[in-house]
């Protein structure tokens, strides 16, 4: 990672991988939050509180150092090791899911239960009802909230540099150390993050506009 | 794990106290900065408003880690800062961390305060002037009080977020709870013990903070 380009690509890789995993976890947690069974709801609420109450840095450390220590303890010499990339993705995804669950649960609540029952009556299985009927509708409600969480995720990828991953902050630290101009390089890093954030904002804005047009056809 | 906690109780206690100290210092400074920023933004001082808006965009759009590194490693690069009167303070990581966190918090709090100030009807301020309030009385008894009560629910979120963000100060060698955990991890090699204890402590403090803030909301805010 000796160029800004390679470092930037690594940042985007971590961010998008964490987003994919985070959406998966978030949807699962959101579904659990709105489940009929109160025990499932309580479990989901506890998990959410845990994921929201713990600092992201601590979560990353626990998955990386704690996870590797656990693997070593369980079977020394085990070939699999949690890499900083994997720890970063998992940690950021879990943190994302803690907040995304709320957004998705709120979006799910806007869908009348009758739609689910109608879908089942028409012969869809429960997963099919979710994928084909519910999901497209909640996407529009959830997008603003999830868009904000994505911006937070993008900025939190900087924390993975503390685990040693070769992304933008790591590049900036190395360059700053060798060139004795830390202010310049950290400002450059800040600029790159700001650029990513602004591009994301533009993309989400246009996606929202497109969705709004699409949905209003059916009104 | 429990006996590990008992053995190193003093260390963890110091870490928690440093974390809480960082949190409240940053929040206090950040609130003052936010109040000043809101005042400037509401005034007719166009250049100041532009500068503050740009600074807030930067503070909201970049990671806190970058801001802390800029403050600690970045500022030390310049000769004129090293020779200035602030250098004895800016050298210390805790002061840099507080400054960076305060600036970051002020960026978000300014948004909240602006909304709250706009929500106060003009009629109230005019009524104050007619009743003969001094500007200072107007500011404190009416404007600040109303604005603060308005933003309280959102500000409690900000308080929790700043508390979690103080963990990032550990990357510039501040010995807050996270820093103390890392130090113990490297000294005793009992990684899971340290990390789990730190997790429990963070969760407990977050829960207690939320409970206190909720109590404040019920007893103080709602009554007004």
Neighbours of A70 (CB within 10 A): 13
A160 → chain B, closest CA residue: B65
Give the residue from B74, B187, B189 with the most A CB atoms within 10 Å of its CB, the best one to mutate: B74
Contact B191, B185 (CB under 8 A): yes
pLDDT of B192 > 80? The answer is yes
Contact B199, A54 (CB under 8 A): yes
Question: What is the arithmetic mean of pLDDT over B178-200?
Answer: 91
Q: Chain B: give the shortest CA distance to residue A62, in Å.
A: 6
pLDDT at position B221, please?
66
Residues of B with CB under 8 A from a CB of A: 57-58, 61-67, 69-70, 73-78, 160, 164-165, 167-168, 170-171, 178, 181-182, 185, 191-192, 195-196, 198-199, 202-203, 206-207
* Interchain contact, A54 vs B199, CB within 8 Å: yes
pLDDT at position B147, please?
83
Residues A82, A200, A87: CA angle, nearest 5 degrees: 5
Question: What is the arithmetic mean of pLDDT over A211-215?
Answer: 73
Helix, coil or strand: residue B222? coil
Contact A124, A46 (CB under 8 A): no
Helix, coil or strand: residue B78? coil
* Interchain contact, B66 vs A193, CB within 8 Å: yes
Rounded CA separation B112/A22 (Å): 28
**Per-residue pLDDT reduced to its tens digit, A122-135:** 888 878 888 888 88
Percent of chain A past pLDDT 70, that is, above it, reads 95
* Interchain contact, A155 vs B62, CB within 8 Å: yes
Query: In angstroms, how far is the first alpha carbon of chain A from the final one?
Result: 51
Q: Chain A: give the shortest CA distance to residue B134, in Å.
A: 42
Rounded CA separation A215/A204 (Å): 16
Per-residue pLDDT band for B176 (boundaries 50, 70, 90) equals very high
Task: Provide, as residue numbers in chain A, all residues whose Cβ is less than 8 Å from the Cβ of B75.
Answer: 183
* Interchain contact, A186 vs B66, CB within 8 Å: yes
Nearest to A55 by CA among B11, B203, B186: B203
Nearest to B168 by CA among B156, B154, B151, B182: B182
Q: How far is CA B35 from CA A139, B109, B118, B121, B152, in A?
A: 37, 8, 14, 19, 14
Report the Cα A170 to chain-centroid distance in Å.
21
Task: Provide, as residue numbers in chain A, all residues whose Cβ is less than 8 Å from the Cβ of B196.
Answer: 62, 66
Tokens of residue B2, six digits: 């429990």
| Total residues belonging to chain A | 219
**Per-residue pLDDT reduced to its tens digit, A132-177:** 888 888 888 888 899 999 999 999 999 999 998 888 999 999 888 8
- Which residues are CB-neighbours of A120 under 8 A, at least 6 positions away? A126, A129
* Interchain contact, A58 vs B207, CB within 8 Å: no
pLDDT at position B90, please?
77
Contact B65, A173 (CB under 8 A): no
pLDDT at position B209, please?
93
Q: How far is CA B164 from CA A6, B104, B111, in A?
A: 30, 13, 20
pLDDT at position A96, please?
95
Question: What is the arithmetic mean of pLDDT over A104-108?
Answer: 90
pLDDT at position A219, please?
45
Average pLDDT, chain A: 88
Strands (E), A74-122: none
Give the residue from B1, B69, B183, B204 with the most A CB atoms within 10 Å of its CB, the best one to mutate: B69
**Per-residue pLDDT reduced to its tens digit, B104-127:** 999 999 999 988 888 888 787 778
Contact B102, B25 (CB under 8 A): yes
**Mutual orientation of helices A182-217 and A4-33 as an angle, nearest 10°?**
40
Of A66, A157, A197, the CB nearest to B192: A66
Per-residue pLDDT band for A1 (boundaries 50, 70, 90) equals very low
Contact A140, A215 (CB under 8 A): yes
**Per-residue pLDDT reduced to its tens digit, A37-49:** 889 999 999 999 9
Q: Which span out of A31-35, A58-62, B144-148 was modeled with the highest average pLDDT?
A: A58-62
Question: What is the arithmetic mean of pLDDT over A73-96?
Answer: 86
Task: Provide, as residue numbers in chain B, all residues whose Cβ is less than 8 Å from the Cβ of A162.
Answer: 65, 171
pLDDT of A2 > 80? The answer is no
- Which residues are CB-neighbours of B114 under 8 A, at least 6 positions away? B38, B41, B42
Give the residue from B4, B191, B192 with the most A CB atoms within 10 Å of its CB, the best one to mutate: B191
Contact A93, A22 (CB under 8 A): yes
Average pLDDT, chain B: 88
């Amino acid at each position: 990672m000796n160029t800004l380009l390679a470092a930037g690509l690594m940042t985007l890789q971590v961010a998008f991988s964490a987003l994919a995993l985070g959406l998966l976890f978030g949807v699962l947690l959101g579904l659990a939050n709105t489940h009929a069974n109160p025990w499932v709801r309580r479990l989901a609420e506890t998990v959410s509180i845990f994921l929201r109450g713990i600092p992201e840095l601590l979560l990353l450390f626990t998955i990386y150092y704690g996870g590797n220590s656990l693997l070593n303890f369980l079977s020394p010499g085990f070939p699999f090791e949690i890499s900083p990339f994997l720890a970063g993705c998992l940690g950021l995804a879990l943190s994302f899911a803690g907040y995304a669950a709320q957004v998705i649960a709120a979006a799910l609540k806007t869908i009348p239960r009758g739609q689910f029952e109608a879908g089942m009556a028409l012969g869809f299985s429960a997963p099919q009802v979710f994928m084909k009927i519910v999901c497209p509708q909640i996407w529009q409600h959830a997008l603003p909230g999830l868009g904000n969480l994505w911006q937070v995720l993008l900025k939190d990828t900087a924390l993975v540099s503390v685990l040693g991953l070769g992304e933008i902050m790591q590049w900036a630290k190395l360059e700053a150390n060798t060139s004795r101009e830390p202010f310049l390089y950290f400002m450059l890093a800040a600029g790159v993050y700001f650029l990513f954030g602004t591009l994301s904002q533009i993309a989400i804005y246009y996606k929202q506009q497109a969705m709004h047009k699409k949905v209003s056809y059916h009104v | 794990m429990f006996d590990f906690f008992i053995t190193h109780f003093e260390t963890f206690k110091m870490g928690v106290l440093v974390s809480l100290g960082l949190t409240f210092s940053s929040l206090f400074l950040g609130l003052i900065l936010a109040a000043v920023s809101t005042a400037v933004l509401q005034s007719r001082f166009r250049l100041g408003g532009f500068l503050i808006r740009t600074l807030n965009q930067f503070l909201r759009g970049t990671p806190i880690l970058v801001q802390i590194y800029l403050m600690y490693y970045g500022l030390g690069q310049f000769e004129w800062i090293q020779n200035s009167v602030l250098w004895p303070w800016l050298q210390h990581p805790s002061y840099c961390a507080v400054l960076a966190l305060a600036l970051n918090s002020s960026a978000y709090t300014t948004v909240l305060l602006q909304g709250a100030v706009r929500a106060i009807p003009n009629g109230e301020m005019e009524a104050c002037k007619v009743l003969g309030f001094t500007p200072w009385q107007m500011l404190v008894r009416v404007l600040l009080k109303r604005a603060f009560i308005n933003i309280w629910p959102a500000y409690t979120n900000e308080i929790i977020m700043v508390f979690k963000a103080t963990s990032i100060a550990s990357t510039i060698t501040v010995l807050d709870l996270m820093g103390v955990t890392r130090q113990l991890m490297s000294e005793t090699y009992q990684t899971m013990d340290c990390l789990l204890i730190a997790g429990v402590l963070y969760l407990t403090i977050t829960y207690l903070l939320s409970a206190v803030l909720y109590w404040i909301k019920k007893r103080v805010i709602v009554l007004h």
